[in-house]
Copies of this chain bind each other. A is one copy, B any other.
């Protein structure tokens, strides 16, 4: 028996006494990987902030049922909500981006397809990529101890992203990360004049960067920001920027 009970994602867990069925991935993890059986003490989180001491009621071929016990205080969520708007990256790099965003404490991930993105929206839809990223978000929440599973939105076009940012204008600033020297209008992150916001959207481009047209279109709704004088890799930019946002506005 491990010192700290294993944690599982049980989206239906709402209150002590509930008898809930685990999703298939979670059942597999419980029975095949951890080899737990009826009577085992576990913890479950519902992905919306609820976390409970629980007990395995039945673990068989027809799935795992859990008797939900007393609620626990979950790991506190950041007061400052960060949405990571990330241009889809090559290969499976987006998997790491989603995993890291959830780990550091992002509220949501909003993938988009920009001019230099090397994957098309059609390919993403056909391969059910969003479902995959959402599963990765669950798995990362398990590992990092969050009781909230951030939403990974359906990938949208760059134009649709800009429209969403405009609609959410009042919620908080959008910071578009640009390479040092890539845009004259960009300012250093530390020189941004922003009062402690309630929410921030961090906008990160693909490996090939932004086109001049995208920089122009975004500058109406985003602050163009540089982070240091080196060229950061596209697949670490979101993590670095979120860490900087959290450090600057006292979330860390």
Contacts and interface: CB of A to CB of B under 8 A. Distances in A.
Query: Which 4 pairs show the lowest CB-CB distances between chains A and B?
Result: A244-B247, A243-B243, A247-B247, A144-B230
A100 B235 CA distance: 11
Contacts of A143: 231, 233
Contacts of A236: 100, 103-104, 239
A205 interface: no
Contacts of A239: 236, 239-240, 243
A251 interface: yes
A11 interface: no
A244 to B, nearest CB: 4
Interface in A225-240: 227-233, 236, 239-240
A189 interface: yes
Contact of A230 (B103, B190, B229, B248): B103
A243 B247 contact: yes
Interface in A60-80: 75-78
Interface of A: 75-78, 100, 103-105, 143-146, 180, 188-190, 227-233, 236, 239-241, 243-248, 250-252
A86 to B, nearest CB: 16
A252 B230 contact: no
A177 B229 CA distance: 25
Contacts of A233: 100, 103, 143-144
A104 B145 contact: no
A104 B246 contact: no
A78 B246 contact: no
Contact of A243 (B77, B144, B229, B244): B244
A190 to B, nearest CB: 4
A83 B103 CA distance: 24
A104 B230 contact: yes
A185 to B, nearest CB: 17
Given A103-B236, A244-B246, 9 more contacts: A75-B180, A105-B229, A105-B230, A143-B233, A144-B231, A189-B247, A190-B252, A239-B243, A244-B247
7 contacts: A104-B232, A143-B231, A143-B233, A144-B233, A145-B229, A190-B252, A239-B243
A188 B104 CA distance: 15
